[in-house]
Amino acid sequence: MVDRRYDDKIMKKRSLAGSVAIGFVLLTFILIAVSFSTPSWLVSDYRITGARLDRFGLWTHCFRSLPDPVDINQRRFFVGCRWIYDPFTTGYDQIRGFLVPAFLVATQFFFTVCFIAALLSAILTLLYFLCCGPDIKHYVTLIKLNAWILLVGGLAGGIAVVVFACEANKDNWMPGHDNNFFGWSFALACIGAVAALVASTLFFVEGYVQQRKRKQLKDSQMRFEMEHEKI
């Protein structure tokens, strides 16, 4: 007869790769969510007293004193933090084309994909950690689906940060570009994209391990049936 302890060993719930992947998914979600919602992708040097930009995010912009780029007489200035689609501030909608150029739209799109992927992955990882085990029919499918979602999210996040890094601090956009630098929100976005790719790799490894375990268990059961037939 087949040793049941051998079967239990084969169908151990998670490998080391799967356990580490859970930690990376948690790290990925926290980093991506914080960077997605905070306005410190591009910041001005706080030591510069005359800087017009304070800090700049994907959805919220903060200015110390930004002159209206469409007002040639420089009679209107924008001060403080505002949502990028603020409908209440007079003239803000008129400079939206300046505030949201094509590269920022691309950054918003790809990082939104990254955020959605991180959210979906967090949900799937909770199912993987709390509800599902190797005895579930689609256990391996769940792991591989999570791996693919994280891969898409990591690649999308990588594209977003590369586009932003290449275009955000050029001298033809935000004023005072010589005194502007990439802030901590941007740094978290970079780390989050890398963490997503690492988590994806770990889940691909976990999927392969669990698939092999299922094959070993199937072979074990077949040997048991053959031995039983001989008896």
| Model pTM above 0.85 | no
Distance between CA 148 and CA 196 in Å, rounded? 10
Give the tens place of pLDDT for each residue, 180-189. Answer: 888 999 999 9
Residue 24: what pLDDT? Answer: 95
Distance between CA 27 and CA 39 in Å, rounded? 20
Domains identified in the chain, total number: 1
Residue 230 lies in a domain: no
3-state helix, strand, coil in the chain (%, to 5): 65, 10, 25
Residue 159 lies in a domain: yes
Residue range of the domain that includes 84: 17-216
Rounded (10°) CA dihedral 156, 159, 164, 170: -160
Q: How many residues does this entry show for the chain?
A: 231
Q: Which string of b and e fits 83-106 if b means at least 16 CB within 10 Å?
A: ebeeeeeeebeebeeebbeeebee
Any idea which of 57-61, 98-102, 117-121 has the lowest mean pLDDT? 98-102
* pLDDT value at 118 more than 50: yes
CATH, residue 168: 1.20.140.150
Residue 84 lies in a domain: yes
Residue showing tokens 């256990």: 139
Task: Give ∠ CA 193-33-171 in degrees, rounded to 5.
Answer: 65
Mean per-residue pLDDT for 22-51?
Answer: 88
Give the tens place of pLDDT for each residue, 53-71. Answer: 788 889 988 887 777 766 6
Residue 98 lies in a domain: yes
Residue 197 lies in a domain: yes
Residue 108: what pLDDT? Answer: 95
